[in-house]
Amino acid sequence: MTTEVKPSTRERLLEAAATLTYRDGVGIGVEALCKAAGVSKRSLYQLFESKDELLAVSLEERSSAFVAGLLPAAGDGRSPRERILHVFERLELQAGMPEFHGCRYLAVQIELKDQAHPASQVAHKIKANLTAFFRAEADQGGASDPDLLARQLILVFDGASARAGIGADSLTGLVAPTVVTLLDAAGMR
């Protein structure tokens, strides 16, 4: 006989925060979060100092899945150029899913505008790590200006993610050639 482990109140709140804020934005109310999680407001405030903290923790806990869904495995034998292209291939694949609403970390930063907000700080760190990945690969691949290339790549990533997330554009046949042009111009191997 198998017993199913029921998610804890904390886990249900974190899942509700991740799902609802990604779908509806960070302005989602405490009532809606608690209703979706099947918990009382009292439970939320016993576990988290505020809705802001709940959102920040939710984003932090989703970061490893975000990274795993985008970045190639370390030491996978591919060239730095191929490793960068892998990220954009993954983005294109994710953007084709009906539930795709863009990069959750970019959306949080845009919606909150307050860089001191705990969730904005988490989002900023995650995006800075992606930029650092691009910079390290650009350096490894012999780019003429790794810093500039990393900034250009994150710009393409965020722009492509945002446009696909709002349904303004399909990334198929658009994002990879754009990235290849940048990599070629930077002399990436």
DSSP state of 26: T
Low-confidence ranges of the chain (pLDDT < 50): none
User: How far is residue 99 CA from its own chain's centroid?
Assistant: 14
How many CB atoms are closer than 10 A to CB 34?
20
Question: Residues 64-117: pLDDT tens digits?
Answer: 999 999 999 988 999 999 999 999 999 999 999 999 999 999 999 999 989 999
HSE, side-chain direction, 13 A CA sphere, residue 17 = 25
What pLDDT score was predicted for residue 95?
95
What pLDDT score was predicted for residue 189?
82
Gap between the Cα atoms of 65 and 63, Å rounded: 5
Global confidence as pTM: 0.91
What pLDDT score was predicted for residue 6?
80
- What residue ranges define each of the domains in the chain, with the CATH number in brackets? 50-185 (1.10.357.10)
How many CB atoms are closer than 10 A to CB 46?
11
